[in-house]
Amino acid sequence: MTNDWVDIKNADVILVMGGNPAEAHPCGFKWVIEAKVKKKARLVVVDPRFTRTASVADLYAPIRPGTDIAFLGGVIRFLLAGDKIHLDYVKAYTNAPFLINPSCVFEDGLFTGYDGEKRRYDKSTWIYQTDKDGYARVDPTLSDPNCVFQRMKKHYERYTPEMVERVCGTPKDKFLKVCELVASTGVPHRTMTSLYALGWTQHSVGSQNIRSIAMIQLLLGNMGMSGGGVNALRGHSNIQGLTDLGLLSNSLPGYLTLPNDDDEQLKTYLERRTLKPLRPGQLSYWSNYPKFFVSLMKSWYGAAATKENDFAYSYLPKVDAPYDVLRVVELMSQGKVNGYVCQGFNALASFPDKPKVAAGLARLKYLVVIDPLATETSEFWQSYGEFNDVDPAKIETEVFRLPSSCFAEEDGALVSSARWLQWHWKAAEPPGEAKGDPEIVGELFSRIRQLYAKDGGAFADPILKLTWSYRITSSPHPEELAREYNGQALADVPDPKQPGAFLARAGEQLATFAVLQADGTTACGCWIFAGCYTPAGNQMARRDNADPSGLGIFPAWSWAWPANRRILYNRASCDPHGTPYDPSRKLIWWNGQKWVGNDVPDFKVDSAPAEGMDPFIMNAEGVARLWAPAMAEGPFPEHYEPFDTPLPKNPFGKALNNPAARVFPGDAKAFGKPDEFPCVATTYRLTEHFHFWTKHARIPAVLQPQAFVELSEGLARKKGLKSGDLVVVKSKRGSLKAKALVTRRLPTLVIEGKEVEVVGLPIHWGFTGQTKKGFLTNTLTPPVGDANIQTPEYKAFLVSVEKA
Amino acid sequence: MNVTRRGFLKLTASGIGATSVAALGFSHRRALADVRLFKLTQTSETRNTCPYCSVGCGVIVYGLGDRAKNARTNIVHLEGDPDHPVNRGTLCPKGASLLDFVNSPSRLRFPEYRAPGTSEWKRVSWEFAFDRIARLMKEDRDRNFVAKNAKGQTVNRWTSTAFLAASASSNEAGYIFQKVVRALGGVCFDNQARV
């Protein structure tokens, strides 16, 4: 979230699209109700289903799964065509005035530079026009035909309300009502917040769904504002934290990245990531990349990371491709992955195309499952009849199942959606012989290290030289690890502004990432977490729930990254002169000498407004990007159909599906066609369950004991089905059986003049646990992911439904 | 709140010793509160966070036992933390039934091992499990570690063993796992952020 849960109460309009927080985030959703009751905020819900969130909305509009960009593109067109934007904000704080290289164009559904064989773009033309100093050229009047603003206007001309109705199935009048409410916040004193979850990310165009709302929020001037923002309601208690810590194939802590094969030297690796300002007078905070990176290497390799050996740069693995889970499953099925260590992750249930995953796991030599619960993954080799039809005798995988502790049995911090690092305390010992995760990983690593110390082996240096100064070697304590990722000074760090003074003394915990150095005198395991465990102690354990501003900021409750800042981009809540756009919800302001306020300023605190530094300091442009060339499938979001689509062609252009999405050769035949699979399916959660986890807990298992499928009344009529009937749902990948639940919550949509039925598939059942046994829903889902980050397309695919 | 006359007398009796008769005029509420306290009076409170979605609701864990060195604490109750600024004491159906997760019959208690081609688990010692896994990992790493790619560039990666980390585990577990996986050269690595 750019903002936080309680801040939702400050919104005037709340757009819920791509999520269902009343069901999936109930205790956070109370702040939506608070806004409705106390502030007369209007709640708008756009969803394929009339969800629990929709049931308390002021306005609900249906939409076909997988057509969010068509809808949001329509909103962008509405805002631009009707001049309903916050123009001063757009001119000052976005790249709307930037001039684009004229040879980058959009034609027939594709941008310049597409290579159909590689399914990839050559982005060399996707650049700004630059002046002789290398700075981007701009047209402050927004009239140049090549400025981002004019290009955007042209790009979205096609997204008319009529097209939205044809493609999304949203009635035109409903769509326009949504547009009007959204547009009502394009003024300084009104804001809209966007709440979304996996309903937007789990698409082959997921990243561009999010980009689309970011563009809308920028056009309306809602970024950085209290009650505004783009707010990802994340799905797991610490999915934010593990992402922050970089536990993804190509990431390092704090959004640093692993080197690529071509980053042969540290110098080139750093140069490519140390972004110079693209406009005069801008901060471009990533220009500090070397400080963050060198401090990470000092944290991991201590004395073994020296200036002479490029701070042990060669110890890090380099990547030649994204090794995301879809690729790992592909590699497993080719016999190229031999071992899998699954810590608290039910891969068989969570990955798409379960038949492919199961076949892949069966080719492993060894599988190690570390979990508090008996998951399906740990029993993938066991026959559970039709739910998991395998022959154990034919599966040669060695499987280990290691019992781990749960939340109540450990100390540690979880990062909520709002970026709050909240410390929790151990209440009891885990059952039986179960151990905490740090202890299991620590012991395993210690053994591997002993083997390398004794026998040697492939490139042993990074293993032998990894810093490991924990009091109990085999069991690092959470407090030790928290202190480590916060970071400390390895030598006295002089204050450049005051000779004789120091920013930090040797051995001291760091109070802020501003202290970090690129010369090896500081160590920090995750730069964005610096400040969470300072000389004053564990800031994550703070429990002062005072809210002096009344805006729901709670500055002394736990600790938020970065720098205890609660609302990101809050400099943009003020006009260029430093005066808050809305005096009734002031976050920060310029007091004549420096930036001060109710929140920690997201800005250089002593940079006077007259200096002209812009608010989006993480971007080299200094402003936010309406046009974003870093995206794999194009700098502007464009509607592409899901890979399983009910349409023969894309009404918006020649490319049917996301042209840059990766499809493995063997998977090309894994996609369904509407003649065989005529219904559009989407997956989701119920409030009584959490993934495949709470089916192991008695009360949730009693509340929702059995798998069901939601069907519209129209589909039920056509198929002669009634609630309670057992149905077979088939996709190109596989089939499952579940009970039918016939409901008016699902509409029959009219798409391109034809009726399309939407089928709802809750995900929570499986063959272990206390509910009735059921099929894993991912038996049906397609093995394709988003083109940028490979999130699988769980929210839009084709199925057929028949009576069992 | 319904209180019968007999119940009222019974409840107030417990308070009389400690309070004055004058206070008795409004003390039946207080006495009721005493009974409520009684259920958890033998427990220790621990502040924690719900492990399910990312709202990050504060919960209070009630453990039976006084944390004496040899006493094993038994978690008997969980409820929302009223001091927490986001959930303010409330919990959803999942959070309200966290006790059933902590005490689930599916909780794993011992390391187990399934040998190739067999159809059952065997209980094993931690010693066996750690030793065998460490050897399997080293063997696979030594055999398949890629020091240089086809172009001769130093890449130092290990792609033949993959890793998954839990998005419900704490930062500290995630941090140490990240550090260890990269030290081994691991690149096939994900948490639930993608799925």
Closest CA to A793 of A628, A668, A664, A681: A681
Residue A243 placed within a domain:
no
Put simply, whether A638 touches B (Cβ < 8 Å) is no
Neighbours of B47 (CB within 10 A): 18
Put simply, whether A373 touches B (Cβ < 8 Å) is yes
H helix intervals, A695-770: 698-703, 713-719
Which of A399, A429, A455 is the last residue before a domain boundary? A455
The answer to whether the CB atoms of A247 and B177 lie below 8 A apart is yes
pLDDT value for B36: 57
Confidence of residue B31 (pLDDT cuts 50, 70, 90): low
Name the one residue in this structure whose structure tokens are 């064989």: A117
CA distance A802 to A112: 45
Average pLDDT, chain A: 98
Put simply, whether A366 touches B (Cβ < 8 Å) is yes
Q: Which amino acid is at A465?
A: K
Q: Which member of A398, A431, A794 has the closest CB to residue B115?
A: A398
| Pairing state between β A754-762 and A797-803 | unpaired
CA distance A202 to B138: 36
| Pairing state between β B74-80 and B58-64 | antiparallel
pLDDT value for B28: 53
Over range A170-181, report the average pLDDT.
98
Quick one: what percent of chain A has pLDDT higher than 90?
A: 100
Confidence of residue B3 (pLDDT cuts 50, 70, 90): very low
Q: What's the CATH code of the domain at A754?
A: 2.40.40.20
Measured between beta carbons, which residues in chain A are less than 8 angstroms from residue B179? 300, 466, 525
CA distance B93 to A694: 10
Confidence of residue B11 (pLDDT cuts 50, 70, 90): very low
Which stretch of DSSP H or E encloses residue B12? Answer: helix B5-16
Determine the distance in angstroms separating the CA of A120 from the nearest CA of chain B, rounded to an integer.
21
- Burial level of A117, CB count in 10 A (0-12/13-18/19+)? exposed
Measured between beta carbons, which residues in chain B are less than 8 angstroms from residue A345? 164-167, 191-192
- Burial level of B116, CB count in 10 A (0-12/13-18/19+)? middle
Determine the distance in angstroms separating the CA of B7 from the nearest CA of chain A, rounded to an integer.
32
Is the confidence at residue B35, as pLDDT, over 80?
A: no
Determine the distance in angstroms separating the CA of A231 from the nearest CA of chain B, rounded to an integer.
12
Identify the residue among B55, B110, B130, B149 best suited for mutation to test binding to A, counting A beta carbons within 10 A and taking the highest.
B55
Q: Any idea which fold B42-107 has?
A: Phosphorylase Kinase; domain 1 (3.30.200)
pLDDT value for B30: 55
Is the confidence at residue B14, as pLDDT, over 70?
A: no
Determine the distance in angstroms separating the CA of B107 from the nearest CA of chain A, rounded to an integer.
5
Residue A449 placed within a domain:
yes
Q: Which member of A340, A343, A554 has the closest CB to residue B85?
A: A554
Same domain, A45 and A188: yes
- Burial level of A577, CB count in 10 A (0-12/13-18/19+)? exposed
Q: Which member of A28, A316, A422 has the closest CB to residue B182?
A: A316
- Chain B: residue whose CA lies nearest to A402: B111
CA distance A503 to A493: 5
Confidence of residue B38 (pLDDT cuts 50, 70, 90): low
What percent helix, strand, coil does chain B show, rounded to 5? 40, 20, 40
Residues A675 and A753: beta-carbon distance below 8 Å: no
Is the confidence at residue A423, as pLDDT, over 70?
A: yes
Name the one residue in this structure whose structure tokens are 């110390």: A453
Three-state SS for A544? coil
Determine the distance in angstroms separating the CA of A606 from the nearest CA of chain B, rounded to an integer.
32
The answer to whether the CB atoms of B73 and A547 lie below 8 A apart is no
**Residue pLDDT, tens place only, A587-616:** 999 999 999 999 999 999 999 999 999 999
DSSP characters over A243-286: HHTT-STTEEGGGEEPPBTT--SHHHHHHHHSPPPSSTT---GG
The domain of A362 spans 325-455
Is the confidence at residue B23, as pLDDT, over 60?
A: no
Is the confidence at residue B34, as pLDDT, over 60?
A: no
The answer to whether the CB atoms of B116 and A397 lie below 8 A apart is yes
Residues B109 and A373: beta-carbon distance below 8 Å: no
- CB under 8 Å to A668, separation ≥6 — which residues? none
Closest CA to A349 of A372, A322, A376: A376
Confidence of residue B195 (pLDDT cuts 50, 70, 90): confident
Same domain, A133 and A23: yes
pLDDT value for B17: 41
Q: Which amino acid is at A416?
A: S
pLDDT value for B70: 83
- Tell me which DSSP letter residue A203 carries: S
Same domain, A176 and A40: yes
pLDDT value for B13: 43
Measured between beta carbons, which residues in chain A are less than 8 angstroms from residue B174? 238, 241-242, 245, 247
Does the pTM exceed 0.90? Answer: yes
CA distance A403 to A435: 7
Q: Is the peptide bond before A642 cis (omega within 30 degrees of 0)?
A: no
Residues A101 and A137: beta-carbon distance below 8 Å: no
Kindly state the tokens that stand for A740.
């039918």
- Chain B: residue whose CA lies nearest to A246: B178
Q: Spell out the domain ranges in chain B.
A: 1-41, 42-107, 110-143, 145-195
The answer to whether the CB atoms of B48 and A427 lie below 8 A apart is yes
Which stretch of DSSP H or E encloses residue B61? Answer: strand B58-64
CA distance A84 to A220: 8
Determine the distance in angstroms separating the CA of A36 from the nearest CA of chain B, rounded to an integer.
17
- CB under 8 Å to B27, separation ≥6 — which residues? B12, B15, B19
Determine the distance in angstroms separating the CA of B72 from the nearest CA of chain A, rounded to an integer.
7
Q: Buried b / exposed e across A64-86, counting CB within 10 Å, b at 16+? A: bbbbbbbbbbbbbbbbbeeebbb
Same domain, A72 and A210: yes
First to last CA, chain A: 43
Quick one: what percent of chain B has pLDDT higher than 70?
A: 81
How many domains is chain A built from?
3
Residue A768 placed within a domain:
yes
Measured between beta carbons, which residues in chain A are less than 8 angstroms from residue B130? 443-444, 447
Is the confidence at residue A420, as pLDDT, over 80?
A: yes
Is the confidence at residue B66, as pLDDT, over 80?
A: no
Same domain, A99 and A226: yes
Q: Which member of B55, B73, B91 has the closest CB to residue A427?
A: B73
Over range A337-355, report the average pLDDT.
97
Confidence of residue B71 (pLDDT cuts 50, 70, 90): confident
pLDDT value for B32: 54
Over range A430-449, report the average pLDDT.
98
Q: Which member of B138, B168, B194 has the closest CB to residue A791?
A: B194
CA distance A100 to A91: 16
Kindly state the tokens that stand for A210.
């999010």
Measured between beta carbons, which residues in chain B are less than 8 angstroms from residue A30? 87, 90
Which of A202, A232, A262 is the last residue before a domain boundary? A232
pLDDT value for B24: 46
The answer to whether the CB atoms of A372 and B55 lie below 8 A apart is no
Put simply, whether A476 touches B (Cβ < 8 Å) is yes
Q: What's the CATH code of the domain at A440?
A: 3.40.50.740
For CA atoms A226, A230, A233, A238, the dihedral sign is negative
Neighbours of B56 (CB within 10 A): 30
Closest CA to A597 of A553, A636, A561, A641: A553
- CB under 8 Å to A299, separation ≥6 — which residues? A467, A484, A485, A487, A523, A524, A525
Distance of CA A678 to the CA centre of its chain: 31
**Residue pLDDT, tens place only, A111-132:** 999 999 999 999 999 999 999 9
Neighbours of B67 (CB within 10 A): 11
Q: What's the CATH code of the domain at A215?
A: 3.40.228.10
Which of A211, A232, A253 is the last residue before a domain boundary? A232
Confidence of residue B42 (pLDDT cuts 50, 70, 90): confident
CA distance A468 to A631: 39
Measured between beta carbons, which residues in chain B are less than 8 angstroms from residue A318? 153-157
pLDDT value for B15: 42
**Residue pLDDT, tens place only, A724-764:** 999 999 999 999 999 999 999 999 999 999 999 999 999 99
Residues B3 and B32: beta-carbon distance below 8 Å: yes
Average pLDDT, chain B: 87
**Residue pLDDT, tens place only, A183-208:** 999 999 999 999 999 999 999 999 99
Same domain, A80 and A198: yes
- Chain A: residue whose CA lies nearest to B57: A27
The answer to whether the CB atoms of A462 and B187 lie below 8 A apart is no
Distance of CA A205 to the CA centre of its chain: 13
- Chain A: residue whose CA lies nearest to B86: A6
CA distance A731 to A295: 49
- Chain A: residue whose CA lies nearest to B131: A447
Q: Which member of B54, B104, B177 has the closest CB to residue A417?
A: B54
pLDDT value for A53: 98
pLDDT value for A135: 98
Neighbours of A601 (CB within 10 A): 21
The answer to whether the CB atoms of B86 and A366 lie below 8 A apart is no
- What is each CA distance from A241 to A19, A418, A496, A526, B186, in whole angstroms? 21, 11, 33, 11, 20
